[in-house]
Structure 1
Amino acid sequence: MRILYLSQRLFTHRLTGAGVHDRRVYQFLRDRHDVALMSAWGSPEEWARLLNGMSPRPATTPPAWMDVSLNRKRGVIRALIDCARGGIWTYCPDYYSDFEAAVARALAGASAAPPFDLVWADGYYGAPYLRAARGTPSILMTRDSQTRYHRSCLRVRPSMVGRLKAWRLARFERRFYREAGRVVFLTQADADAHAALDPAARTAVVDHGVDFDPQAGESPGADASILFHGAMTYAPNADAAEWFARRVLPLLAREAPSAEFVIAGDSPGPRVESLARLGRIRVTGRVDDLRPYVRRAGVVVCPLRFGSGVKTKVLEAMALGKAIVATPLCLDGIHAQKDRDLLTATAPDEFAGAVAALLRDPGRRRELGAAARRAIAAHHTWDRHFAQIEALMAGLIGEKTV
Structure 2
Amino acid sequence: MRILWTLPYLPWPTTSGGKTRQFHLLRNLAARGHRITLLVQSKTALDDDTRAALEPWLERLIVIPRRSLRSLRTLLAVAFARPPMLATVNGFAPQLQQQFEALLREEWDVIQIEHSYSFQPFEAPLKRAGKPFIMTEHNVESGLGAASYHHFPKWARPFTRFDQWRYRQWEARVFGQTRELIAVTEEDAKGLARLTSRATAVVVNGVDCDYYAQVVPDRYSRRLLFIGNYEYGPNLDAMEWALEHIMPKVWHLDPMVRLTIGGYALPDHWRERWADPRIDWLGFVPDLRTVQREAAVFFAPLREGGGSKLKVLEAMAAGLAVVTTEQGSSGLNVVNGTHYLGCEDADGLAKLLAEAIEQPHLLTAIGEAGRAYVREHHDWSVSAAQLEGIYSRVHRQEETHACV
Asked whether 1:126 is paired with 2:124, we answer no
- Aligned in 2, Cα 1:390/1:271: closer, same or farther, shift over 3 Å? same
Deviations 1:293-329 (A, max 9, x none): 2221121111011111221110011000011111101
CA distance in 1, matches of 2:37, 2:176: 23
**Corresponding position of 2:288:** 290
1:86–1:265 CA distance, 2 compared to 1 (3 A): closer
Q: 2:133 aligns with which of 132, 135, 138?
A: 138
Structure 1 contact 118–136 (Cα < 8 Å) conserved: no
C-alpha contact (below 8 Å) 1:156/1:305 kept by paired residues: no
SS of 2:89's partner is coil
Change (3 A) 1:17 1:154: closer
Whether contact under 8 Å (1:151, 1:166) holds in the other structure is no
Structure 2 partner of 1:359: 357
Alpha-carbon contact 1:144-1:309 (below 8 Å) kept: yes
Q: 1:328 is paired with a residue of what secondary structure? A: coil
* Structure 2 SS opposite 1:285: coil
1:104 aligns with 2:101: yes
1:270-289 to structure 2, matched below 5 A, reads 270-278=268-276, 280-289=278-287
Among candidates 297, 320, 323, match of residue 299 of structure 1:
297
Relative to structure 1, is the Cα distance of residues 62 and 210 closer, same or farther in structure 2, using a 3 angstrom cutoff?
Answer: closer
| Cross-structure match for 2:40 | 39
Find the aligned partners of 1:279 and 1:81 in 2 and give their Cα distance: 43
Alignment of 1:90-101 (within 5 A): 90-92=88-90, 95=93, 97-101=94-98
TM-score normalized with structure 2 length: 0.84
1:267 aligns to 2:259 (yes or no): no
* 8 Å contact kept, 1:6–1:37: yes
The structure-2 alpha-carbon separation of the partners of 1:40 and 1:229, relative to structure 1 and needing over 3 Å to count, comes to closer
Q: Distance in 2 between matches of 1:23 and 1:144?
A: 18
Gaps of 5+ in 1: none
- Inter-partner Cα distance in structure 1 for 2:333 and 2:248: 32
CA drift of 1:344 comes to 0.9
In the superposition, relative to structure 1, how do residues 191 and 13 fare at CA in structure 2: closer, same or farther (>3 Å)?
farther
Which residue identity does 1:177 align to in structure 2?
Answer: F
Distance 1:306 1:319 in 2: 23
Q: Cα RMSD over matched residues?
A: 3.2
Report 1:253-264 matches (<5 A).
Answer: 253-264=251-262
The superposition leaves residues 347-400 of structure 1 with CA deviations (integer Å, 9 ceiling, x where unpaired) of 111101111111100000000011011101110101111000100111111222
Amino acid at match of 2:361: G
**Whole-Å Cα distance in 2 between the matches of residues 118 and 186 of structure 1?**
19
Please tell me the residue identity of whatever aligns with 1:138.
Answer: F
- Indicate the residue corresponding to 1:11 in structure 2: 11
Aligned counterparts of 1:241 and 1:81: Cα–Cα separation in 2: 29
Alpha-carbon contact 1:154-1:163 (below 8 Å) kept:
no
Aligned length: 385
Q: State the AA in 2 paired with 1:209.
A: G
- In the TM superposition, residue 56 of structure 1 has moved relative to its aligned partner by 4.7
1:208 paired with 2:205, answer: yes
**What one-letter code is carried by the residue in structure 2 that aligns with 1:7?**
L
Q: In structure 2, do the counterparts of structure 1 residues 60 and 285 end up closer, same or farther at CA, with 3 Å as the change threshold?
A: closer
- Inter-partner Cα distance in structure 1 for 2:288 and 2:77: 41
Contact 2:84 2:164 in 1 (8 A): no
Distance 1:81 1:146 in 2: 16
Between 291-300 and 135-144, report the one with greater CA deviation.
Answer: 135-144
* Aligned AA (2:249): L
Q: Does the CA-based 8 Å contact 2:321-2:363 persist in structure 1? A: yes
Q: Is the 8 A contact 2:8 2:90 kept in 1?
A: no
Within a 5 Å distance, the mapping from 1:3-402 to structure 2 comes to: 3-31=3-31, 32-41=33-42, 46=46, 50-54=50-54, 56=56, 59-60=58-59, 76=73, 80=77, 84-88=81-85, 90-92=88-90, 95=93, 97-107=94-104, 109=105, 112=106, 115-128=107-120, 129-134=122-127, 135-150=130-145, 159-196=157-194, 198-213=195-210, 216=214, 218-278=216-276, 280-402=278-400
Report the alpha carbon displacement of residue 13 of structure 1 after superposing the two structures with TM: 4.5
Identity %: 24
Q: Matches of 1:208 and 1:234 in 2, distance apart?
A: 17
Q: Which amino acid aligns with 2:200?
A: T
Task: Supply the AA of the counterpart residue of 1:122.
Answer: E
The SS at the match of 2:299 is strand
Q: Distance in 2 between matches of 1:140 and 1:355?
A: 40
Q: Which moved more, 1:214-223 or 1:266-275?
A: 214-223
Q: CA deviation at 1:190?
A: 2.3
- SS across alignment from 1:263: strand
Note if contact 1:48-1:61 (Cα within 8 Å) is conserved in structure 2: no
Secondary structure of 1:333's aligned partner: coil
Give the match's secondary structure for 1:253: helix
1:140-174 CA distance string (max 9 Å, x none): 12211211222566899973343233222222212
Q: Is the CA contact (8 Å cut-off) linking 2:213 and 2:318 kept in structure 1?
A: no
Give the deviation of 1:49 after TM superposition. Answer: 7.0
Letter in structure 2 aligned against 1:174: A
TM superposition score normalised by structure 1: 0.84
Following the alignment from structure 1 to structure 2, what is the Cα–Cα distance between the partners of residues 325 and 62? 39
